[in-house]
């Protein structure tokens, strides 16, 4: 039985994987036991440039200044109605206990006051509803604009960005980070501003009602702040551990479920169960501690406020007995004193969420601020539709990193209609050549010309539209079979799509699908075999009128029988096109006009199949020793 990895090793290995799947947690998911104040601190941390981030966010919200002004007015009115409604209890209570007032007078006074109270609270309800609706409008439109800018900024980014940034990290900007910003604008920010308004208003009413009792209440504020801060700090530490444990569990589940075939083949089920038990128990323990300290915040703060309430009520009662204060005023004041701690708690609760959301905003803006691909030169020209497709590489040197050269002094010429094949060990630089041809990356030195024109003098979009590619990794979009093939040329007719499928030898299997060319493909064509998906990719290239074709391991996912089946179709596809073929199966490149053998980024041999075999060099070793390269 395989050795079971330690808990610490599992946690380190899978925590990051799980967080890339689940994001950084969505702030604003309240409820009992969710941390200080019922909120879960987000794992994104604190923003590095708070002022700059806030300023940029305000630029999105600032388009709705009129809405925000109305929201602020509604907040003020809502707070005033709440305070006024509470204060009106003072004359009601004083009238009811005044023995000099008759029963009829008490009923009349009570009835009139109740009607007035109803009107006040109705105004408060209406303003609160209007405030919520307007903030939803502002937050949804602001985040929609932010999400649109994020998506638009990704489109012109160079391939280098996507090669160096995991897809999960980029996706988390659209999901978790944008959701966090939306929660902050719609809920947290509103709650914080409302809390400040309520705090100021309550304090003013407390001073107006009785300044001495106000002083007693204020004395307890440092106790609230210190106690709440200590518990929040402790709880945040445990919640950070819980997030790490949750990421590890999610990462382990995702990897194990997706790799079930491998697990079963190697009889690894027992090890998986034991390792998952360790991770699951670890998360349970951390969840218990995190939610215990998160849940204890409410009772502790509540009991502390009860002590303040009792002391205030006791001193106020003594003032009433001595005729210094009235009972109605005391009833109103103790209500304000209990209400006074609520905005403080609300503000402290929202601070972690707001800072977390600002950190998420920084992550979003970091992508938006990425440098796009270098713009085309002013004299860049479009690629000619009548271009024959002659490709020349003259002493090309390139490295993905400045200090690590991948290609060394590559020189070759591909005449129109020729088939050029690249073979060599993994990492020799075969795919890099085709990346340079499409200007996914720009070379360090040398020149690349097509039909005698330097690539730098072509418009990028026009250049790429005249280079068709069939990659090793297939990718199909959600849509019909016909739409996926037409992706190669959007103005193609249905007839041209069908002809392209026939060229790629995909027509027969397409017609056997439930709805033929109208069959809906989902989840990257999960209802097709790997070979069928690759055939659709080949059909997509076939429909393109590009004079240059790149086949990067195009048949690596196709079995030998299917490979033979499409061999004639591939020949038709390559006819009259300058074709670059990258292959591990040397049998697929025997009929190439020229075969280039790359090792460590250098061309070590070149020639056709017979010439290279006659040399009895590296190609001869590969062909006669191992038919498929390592």
SS (H, E, C) 377-426: CCCCECCCCCCCCCEEEEEEEECCECCECCEEEEEEEECCCCEEEEEECC
Does one domain contain both 421 and 321? no
Q: What is the DSSP letter of 255?
A: H
Cα(451)–Cα(217) distance, integer angstroms: 85
Cα(160)–Cα(5) distance, integer angstroms: 35
Does one domain contain both 51 and 160? yes
Does one domain contain both 146 and 235? yes
pLDDT at 627: 43
Residue 565 lies in a domain: no
Given 333, 368, 403, the domain boundary residue is: 368
Does one domain contain both 553 and 536? no
Does one domain contain both 65 and 94? yes
Cα(549)–Cα(581) distance, integer angstroms: 8
Does one domain contain both 460 and 480? no
Does one domain contain both 312 and 449? no
Of 212, 208, 218, residue with least CA distance to 318: 212
Residue 2 lies in a domain: no
Given 346, 368, 390, the domain boundary residue is: 368
CATH of the domain at 307: 1.20.1560.10
Does one domain contain both 538 and 553? no
Residue 564 lies in a domain: no
Domain count, the chain: 3
Does one domain contain both 500 and 619? no
Does one domain contain both 347 and 410? no
Count Cβ atoms below 10 Å from residue 380 Cβ, excluding itself. Answer: 15
pLDDT at 591: 83
Cα(391)–Cα(527) distance, integer angstroms: 39
Cα(538)–Cα(621) distance, integer angstroms: 31
Return left, alpha or beta for 391; rule: phi > 0 is left, psi -120 to 50 is alpha, else beta.
beta
Does one domain contain both 153 and 298? yes
Does one domain contain both 408 and 534? no
Mean pLDDT for back-to-back runs of 10 residues, the chain (630 residues): 67 60 38 36 59 89 90 90 84 77 78 86 92 91 93 90 81 87 85 85 88 83 69 70 78 82 82 88 85 70 71 85 84 82 72 81 90 84 84 91 86 91 83 87 91 89 87 82 90 91 88 92 82 86 87 69 66 81 77 89 90 87 60
Contact by Cβ (8 Å): 91, 328: yes
Give CA angle at 21 (16, 22), nearest 5°.
95
Residue 377 lies in a domain: no
pLDDT at 560: 66
Number of H helices, E strands in the chain: 23, 12
Count Cβ atoms below 10 Å from residue 308 Cβ, excluding itself. Answer: 22
pTM given for the model: 0.72
In 3-state terms, what secondary structure has residue 142? helix
Q: Nearest 5°: phi and psi at 446?
A: 90, -170
pLDDT at 625: 66
pLDDT at 594: 92
* Residue 132, H or E segment: helix 103-154
Residue 356 lies in a domain: yes
Given 344, 368, 392, the domain boundary residue is: 368
CATH of the domain at 598: 3.40.50.300
Return left, alpha or beta for 31; rule: phi > 0 is left, psi -120 to 50 is alpha, else beta.
left
Burial of 307 (C-beta count, 10 Å sphere; 0-12/13-18/19+): exposed
The residue range of the domain holding 360 is 7-368
């Amino acid at each position: 039985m395989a050795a079971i990895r330690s808990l610490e090793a599992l946690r380190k290995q899978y925590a990051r994987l799980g967080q890339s799947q689940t994001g950084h947690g969505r702030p604003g998911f309240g409820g009992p036991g969710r941390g200080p104040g019922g909120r879960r601190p987000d794992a994104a941390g604190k923003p590095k440039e708070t002022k700059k981030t806030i300023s940029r966010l305000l630029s999105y919200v600032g388009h709705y200044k009129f809405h925000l002004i109305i929201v602020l007015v509604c907040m003020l009115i809502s707070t005033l109605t709440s305070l006024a409604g509470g204060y009106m209890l003072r004359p009601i209570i004083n009238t009811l206990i005044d023995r000099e007032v008759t029963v009829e007078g008490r009923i009349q006074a009570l009835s009139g006051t109740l009607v007035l109270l109803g009107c006040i609270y109705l105004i408060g309800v209406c303003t609160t509803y209007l405030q919520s609706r307007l903030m939803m409008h502002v937050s949804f439109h602001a985040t929609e604009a932010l999400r649109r800018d994020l998506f638009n900024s990704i489109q012109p980014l160079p391939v280098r960005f996507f090669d160096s940034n995991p897809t999960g990290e980029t996706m988390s900007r659209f999901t978790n980070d944008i959701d966090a910003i939306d929660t902050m604008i719609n809920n947290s920010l509103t709650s914080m501003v409302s809390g400040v308004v309520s705090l100021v208003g309550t304090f003013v009413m407390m001073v107006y009602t009785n300044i001495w009792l106000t002083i007693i209440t204020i004395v307890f504020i440092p106790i609230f702040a210190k106690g709440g801060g200590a518990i929040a700090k402790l709880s945040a530490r445990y919640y950070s551990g819980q997030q790490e444990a949750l990421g590890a569990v999610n990462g382990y589940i995702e990897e194990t479920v997706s790799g079930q075939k491998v697990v079963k083949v190697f009889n690894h089920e027992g090890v998986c169960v034991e390792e998952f038990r360790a991770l699951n128990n670890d998360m349970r323990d951390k969840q218990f501690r995190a939610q215990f300290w998160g849940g204890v915040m409410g009772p502790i703060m509540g009991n502390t406020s009860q002590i303040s309430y009792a002391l205030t009520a006791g001193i106020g009662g003594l003032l009433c007995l001595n005729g210094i204060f009235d009972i109605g005023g005391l009833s109103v004041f103790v209500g304000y004193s209990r209400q006074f701690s609520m905005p403080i708690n609300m503000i402290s609760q929202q601070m972690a969420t707001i800072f977390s959301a600002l950190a998420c905003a920084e992550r979003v803006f970091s992508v938006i601020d990425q440098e796009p691909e270098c713009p085309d030169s002013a004299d860049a020209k479009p690629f000619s539709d009548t271009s024959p497709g002659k490709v020349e590489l003259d002493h090309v040197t390139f490295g993905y990193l400045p200090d690590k050269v991948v290609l060394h002094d590559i020189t070759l010429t591909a005449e129109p209609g020729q088939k050029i094949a690249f073979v060599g060990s993994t990492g020799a630089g075969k795919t890099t050549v085709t990346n340079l041809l499409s200007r996914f990356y720009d070379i360090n030195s040398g020149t690349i010309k097509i039909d005698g024109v330097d690539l730098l003098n072509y418009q990028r979009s026009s250049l790429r539209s005249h280079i068709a590619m069939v990659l090793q990794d297939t990718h199909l979009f959600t849509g019909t079979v016909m739409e996926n093939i037409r992706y190669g040329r959007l103005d193609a007719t249905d007839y041209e799509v069908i002809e392209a499928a026939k060229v790629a030898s995909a027509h027969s299997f397409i017609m056997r699908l439930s709805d033929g060319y109208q069959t809906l493909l989902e989840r990257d064509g999960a209802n097709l075999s790997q070979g069928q998906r690759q055939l659709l990719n080949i059909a997509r290239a076939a429909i393109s009128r590009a004079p240059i074709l790149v086949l990067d391991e195009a048949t690596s996912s196709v079995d030998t029988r299917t490979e033979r089946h499409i061999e004639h179709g591939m020949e038709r596809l390559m006819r009259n096109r300058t074709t670059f073929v990258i292959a591990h199966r040397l049998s697929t490149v025997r009929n190439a006009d020229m075969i280039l053998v790359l090792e460590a980024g250098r061309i070590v041999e070149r020639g056709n199949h017979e010439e290279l075999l006659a040399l009895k060099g590296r190609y001869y070793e590969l062909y006669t020793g191992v038919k498929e390269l390592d």
